[in-house]
Every structure is written in C-alpha cells, then in structure tokens.
Amino acid sequence: MEFVIAKSGGFCRGVKKAVDTALAIDPKNTYIYGEIIHNPEVVQTITDRGIAMVEELDQVPCGATLIIRSHGVGRAVYELCKERNITVVDCTCEFVRRTQTIVKEEYAKGKTIIIIGEKTHPEVVGLNGWCDNKAYVFSSEEEDFSILPPNDCCVVAQTTYSEEKFEKIIKNLNNIREKTVEVFKTICYTTIGRQNEARELAKECEAVLVIGGLNSSNTNKLFDICTKHCSNVFRLSSAADLEYKTIKRFKKVGIVTGASTPNAQTQEVLLKMEMETEAKATSMEEVVANMDSQPKFKKGQLIKATISSADDSGVAVLLPLAKKEVILDKEEVDCEVYNKDDFNAKLGEEIELMVVAVNPVKLSQKQIKAVKEEEAAIAEIQAGKEFEVVCTGFNKGGLTSELGSYTVFVPAREIRSGYVKELDKYVGKKLRLRLIEIKTERRKEIIASQRVIIEEERAAKEAAKAAKEAEFFASIHVDDVVEGKVERVTAFGAFVSVNGFDCLAHISDLSWTGVKSVTDVLEIGKKYEFKVLKIDEEAKKVSIGYKQLQAQPWELAAEKYAEGDVIHGKVVRIVPFGAFVEVEKGIDGLVHVSQISHEFLENPTTALAIGQEIDAKILKLDCAEKKMTLSIKALEPKPENLERKPRAAKAEDGEVKEKARKPREAKPADEVTEWHDGGLGGVSIADLLNKNS
C-alpha cells in the first residue's frame, strides 16, 4: 500500500496564530469567543488550561481578556468590549480582516452587500456585522437572486468557501445583475491551493482519507471535492474513526487534512495503520521501506520533523513516514551560534524544516525564514499592497519577471494606459505592480498590473491639483499684492509661481519705460512682489504686473527737475511744430520750433536731427499733466540787429513782391488747440506762442 500525503496539510497560518496564542496566553480570567477552531481535540487542550469558551459576550465579565478567533467578529463586539473594559486579543485571520474592510467600505458607499458562504458559519456572521447585519447571504447557485434590491451590489466570499461553487454563483448572479455587481474574490489563496491539491490527489488515488473536525467548514469542502473525483473517500475526525479493513484493499491511498487539523492527528492515523498492519504479512516498516524507494519529498516543501539527537555536526531528526533519521547540518540551523546541548534538551519536540534537496534528502531551518517572509509578502500583496519587480523578459502577451518562488506576468494592456508596442524596452526596468490574480494550479504565478497604479496616481494628482487650484482662486483677487518666485522666462514675459500656481507677468507689465528682455528687470529664482491685474478662473490664467508697484518716471520728476533747470537730452522725434527730446527714460520734453533758434525756422529739421544730443532749459514743468516745455535758444545769446525777413508774395503777373507781415491777433486761450503726446510730454500751442521770445 502506498500513501500520498497532501503537501498543504495541517494548520493554516491564521489558525496556527490563534491556537498558539491560546496555548501561550495567561489563562487567568481569559475567554475565547466561540470555539478557537473546529477541532474537538484542540478545543479540549485549550479548555484544560482553564480558558473558557463563550458563545455570548454577556458571559465575559468586565475587565477580562477575550480572544477573538480567526473567524473574526462583527463591529458591535469590539464596541461592546470597549464599553465593558474587556481587553481584546485579536487573532482574526488577515484574509478575513481584509474581507471585513471591503464590506465596511462598500457598505459605506451605499452598496448592497452580498456574502457567498454558509449562513450560520461564524466568519459569515462576523462579516455581516460590518454592514449592520443587512447583507444578503447565498450558499448555492440555485437560490433566488431576484430578491436583491436594484441598487449597486458588492460581492465577497467566505474565505474557506468552495472556489467551484463560488464561480457558479457569480455566473448566475451576473446573468441577473451583470452591470451593477462588483465582485471581490476573497477566498483565501491557501484554501484554493488546498482545494486544488485535494482535487488532483483524488484523481490519482484509489482511496482518500480526509482528516479533520466534522464541523470544520474547510475540511468538509475538501471532502466534497474529493468525492467528485474518487469513489472511495472516507471522512475521519480522528484516528478513532479509522477502520483499516475499509482501506486495506487499495494500493494507493491519499491523505488530506483541513486547515484546522493539527499534524499530530495525521500522525495518529498513520500510527494506527501501522499497528493494524503489524499482524499482517506486510508490516508498516515494509510499507515505509517501499515508500522510501519513491521520491517522497519535493524541493521547497515544508515539513515537521521530530528532534531525536544532536552532535557537533548537526541535529538528527525523524521525518514523517521515514524509517531512518536525517541530519540537519549545523550550518542550516536557524541560530546565531550552534549549540548541540540546546537541541539535546528538546528531544522529542517538533521543528519545522524545508526540503532543499532530494535523493538524498537535505534539510534547512534557515531557509524557512525566507519562505515565511515570502508568504507574508504574498499575503500583503493579496491585500492590495503595491510591489516591485525588475522585468526579466517578455513574450507576445506581455512582460515576465520573478518574485521569490513565483513567476510574475504583466499583460501588455496592464503595463500602462494605451497600447504598448515595443515590449523589449521594458527588460531590465523596474515595474511597480498591483495584484490582479494568483494562480497555483500548475505553478505559482502572479498576474499583475502597473497600469492601475499609474492611473490611480494620475487621478490623485489631478484631484490634488484641482483642489489646490480651487483653493488658490478662492484666495486671490484683482489688485491683490502677492509674492512670487520667477520660475522661467520667455520672450513675452515671465512665469511666476504664486502659492504654487503659475502666473504670467507680461513683458509690457515689467517696467514703465519698456524693456527688451525680461531678465533686464527680473532674475530667475528670485522672489518679487507683484500686483494681480486679471483673473480668468475658467481658463486657469492669472496676469500679474511688476511695474504697477513701481513709481512712474513722472511721479519722481518733481524731485529731479524744476523750471529754469538745464537738462541734457536726445532728440527722439521731429514734427512740423517742434522736436521731442528724451530727458530720461519715460520723460520727454517738447522744444517748439520757435524755441530752437533765435532765427526763424520754416522746419525744425533745418537745425536738428533725430539722435542729436542737445542742452535745453526747462521753461515749464507740469508733472501732473506729464508735460515739460524746453528751450534751446534760451541758452544762447540773442544776436544783435536780428531782423525778421518778410515773406514774399506773388503778384498777378508772376513777379515776387514783398509782403508786409500783418500782426496776428491773439486768440483766447480756450480757443487754442492743446497738444498731448501719449503722456510722454507736451505743451499747448498757446503756451508756445506766449513764451516766444
């Protein structure tokens, strides 16, 4: 007879944590909310320590300690414990806690919660407690889904539920509510792995023994799966249920254990079979010998071994179903300094080891740490944590990589938003990923997405930007004086950061006198004060000015100039009635044609040219009106015997005759047209005539 033991037998991580806690905690005034696990023997061991198990919270006195089992509880239990000063030791399985969080968050969004699982199972009852006990619970694909309300639904699953049944229920549910149902496949990945392993074992064996508490949900599901693929499946709660005569005729027997079944119970079943066969022709020793001839262990497998002795070379351990000891080399012992006496003091105790080689079998305790770290990392990844890998290859479907003992595949559509054509460019680059799916049927594979992270970050960035912009526009107003840092310049102006928002200071708003380059006024990286000129919230544009906070040239002119002063300037424009002289940037004065020379000039160009530098006397200064009247001839002596030449007039016969100049009558001041040149300076014609000397 050949025995094949399922690799994933024994306590799962969540159950082990709860049991270890119950076995280690001070039992005084300590209670457990319900059975710690669905295994009578383990429950009895814990209660023998003096820890009471209660079904109602009223049974726990105020100030006591309460252990929450791996199945978890509803929100009301935590609230009541707080009110009654009960110390909670929370051993809720991490996968159950993740499902509770999903139920809580989706219910808060107004969604109808659907739980797929056994209605009376403590985990399902606890999940329902996170949505005010208003969830719809379905345990079969044949149930009536039409009772669901029309609003959006969220579906979660009991972590130990049958994956096959879950898929059937989802299929039927989608036929009714396809567009309004969001599905979270919250079945624990170790549960899925055990179910797949049980399925394969049942296919290859003539008979299967399923060991575990009769009220254990996950063990019963393993039994159901095995019965679909093998006609000889036997359910055992312990070794006492085994009848050797029912299996002795089978050549190959599989052994499957639930997540709440301790390894000791499996060993008891094997020991009983050995005792039953001692009286037979074939002893258990021969059976084990036959098994030893087969590759019993797999590389990477975690096994429990019993310490039998220790010496300077290492620790001798006895493996399950092995007829002889195997040496655990001292270099593979997980301790800082190896001491054989430490292990000789623990003879008969079990330790967990990893198979690192077969034929012959080699073991390691150190490498378990890496495996457990990987399991913890995978659990976090399943809970939604982002992880990183370096792309090592690609195929026509996407990118490939590794994460510990897992292969990682990123479909091309999940690399980033939009179509990715050149996959080879990603080889060697770091990928930031989030889990889509984990596959363990044939090999351990992670299907992941980078696109979801990129899109989430983009959405978050845009939301933060929108919020910041809204805050900015709510706090800024036209005519406000703000401080800003010059970030960059262009030919048309400077972009200035004001409270993190880019505002434009146009080049025309930098100086009253005009500039050729922005950097003539502003320096990149420096902070200045600006005045808000225009706000366009819809277009997300703000115009600011620098010159508006600076004094205009004419505002300072009264401090620099006075009537009678002599200035030095440059002719910048000539018109028929005179010439404009730039006194300084932004201030021009007018030299009327009559003030250029003592001699009569028909046109100013006969005496002046653009660009010519001259000295002139200020005859009149009006800063408020931005006018300055200048005279060049006032600085020159008047020639003696200067006679005015009379104008010539044509006679009727074409001869030129002298024409006496008739005195012009002066017009009233209000009839004289006033000249004003764009605010750069000017005088009235009346002023010019009255000042003419």
Q: Which two tokens stand for residue 466?
A: 């929108």
Distance CA 94, CA 71 (A): 10
Kindly tell me the sign of the dihedral angle through the C-alpha atoms of 298, 300, 302, 305: positive
How distant, in Å, are the alpha carbons of 683, 684, 687, 688 from that of 673?
A: 10, 7, 10, 11
Kindly tell me the sign of the dihedral angle through the C-alpha atoms of 225, 230, 231, 232: negative
How distant, in Å, are the alpha carbons of 41, 50, 377, 517 from that of 44?
A: 5, 10, 34, 89
Q: Which two tokens stand for residue 496?
A: 């200035």
- Rg of the chain over CA atoms, in angstroms? 48
Distance CA 209, CA 236 (A): 7
Distance CA 433, CA 406 (A): 14
The one-letter amino acid at 584: E
| H/E stretch holding 77 | helix 75-83
Q: Which two tokens stand for residue 199?
A: 């399925």
* DSSP codes, 513-565: T--S-GGGT--TT-EEEEEEEEEETTTTEEEEESGGGS--HHHHHHHH--TT-
Catalytic option among 35, 106, 118, 123: 123
The one-letter amino acid at 690: N
The pairing of strands 501-506 and 541-545 is parallel
Residue 501: which of 459, 530, 458, 523 has the closest Cα?
530
Distance CA 301, CA 320 (A): 13
Distance CA 229, CA 204 (A): 9
The one-letter amino acid at 344: N
Q: Do 319 and 303 meet the contact criterion of CB atoms below 8 Å apart?
A: yes
- Residue 123 a catalytic site member: yes
The one-letter amino acid at 295: P
Burial 270-293 (b: 16+ CB within 10 A, else e): bebbeebbeeeeeebeebbeebee
Helices (runs of H) and strands (runs of E) counted in the chain = 15, 35
If you search the block for the tokens 């010998």, which residue do you land on?
289
Neighbours of 242 (CB within 10 A): 19
* DSSP codes, 468-501: HHHHHHHH--TT-EEEEEEEEE-SSEEEEEETTE
How far out from the chain centre does Cα 406 lie?
24
Burial classification of residue 17, based on how many CB atoms lie within 10 Å of its CB (0-12 exposed, 13-18 middle, 19 or more buried) = middle
Q: Do 139 and 117 meet the contact criterion of CB atoms below 8 Å apart?
A: yes
Cβ contacts of 308 within 8 Å, gap of 6 or more: 316, 317, 318, 325, 347
Q: Do 562 and 621 meet the contact criterion of CB atoms below 8 Å apart?
A: yes
Catalytic residues: 123
